[in-house]
């Protein structure tokens, strides 16, 4: 991804159906001052928000009602607007085949819960090309 000027804010969408988990992810992202974070309750809510605003990064859970995270990734990779947008999966699904499936569908990174804020912080900074400080 091309690096934006230092004063630029990156729009990030966090898609998680569990309010406490969503709050934890948003808190972890709050350490990256360049981010403007938007929350979505599930995959359907995410699609609504993605249609209204452009996002530079998407973090999504897998297990959600109606439209799960893997289906969301598949839809976004088929959409010209979001085909290249980095997507990070944050999930309880830790099996190797789940990780492989998510990455094969087009996710850029895969983090298993319970989340560790420093790891989320590091991966987000790496994906967006921000310094690790």
> Tokens 């297990």 map to which residue?
63
Each residue of 9-25: pLDDT tens digit? Answer: 999 999 999 999 999 99
Confidence (pTM): 0.91
Assigned token pair, 7: 């004063």
Q: Which domain holds residue 24?
A: 10-128
Give the pLDDT mean for 87-111.
93
Q: What is the CATH number of the domain that holds 54?
A: 3.40.50.2300
**What pLDDT, on a 0 to 100 scale, did the predictor assign at position 6?**
52
Is 106 a domain residue?
yes
d(CA 99, CA 133): 28
Question: What pLDDT is recorded for position 93?
Answer: 82
Report how far apart the first and last C-alpha atoms of the chain are (Å, whole number). Answer: 19
Q: Which residues lie across from 15 on neighbouring strands?
A: 40, 60
Answer whether residue 66 is part of any domain: yes
> Per the structure, how many domains does the chain have?
1
Does some domain include residue 1?
no
The answer to whether residue 1 scores a pLDDT higher than 50 is no
Identify which has the larger pLDDT, 114 or 86: 86
Mean pLDDT of 84-112: 93
Asked, for residue 99, whether it belongs to a domain, the answer is yes
The answer to whether position 29 is within a domain reads yes
133 assigned to some structural domain: no
């Amino acid at each position: 991804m091309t690096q934006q000027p230092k004063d630029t804010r990156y729009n990030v969408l966090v898609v998680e159906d569990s309010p406490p988990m969503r709050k934890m992810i948003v808190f972890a992202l709050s350490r990256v001052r360049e981010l403007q974070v938007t929350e979505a309750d599930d995959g359907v809510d995410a699609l609504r928000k993605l249609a209204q605003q452009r996002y530079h990064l998407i973090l999504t859970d897998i297990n959600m009602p109606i439209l799960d995270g893997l289906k969301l990734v598949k839809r976004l990779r088929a959409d010209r607007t979001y085909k290249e947008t980095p997507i990070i999966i944050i999930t309880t699904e830790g099996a190797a085949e789940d990780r492989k499936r998510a990455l094969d569908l087009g996710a850029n990174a895969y983090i298993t819960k319970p989340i560790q804020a420093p790891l989320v912080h590091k991966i987000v900074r790496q994906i967006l090309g921000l310094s690790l400080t």
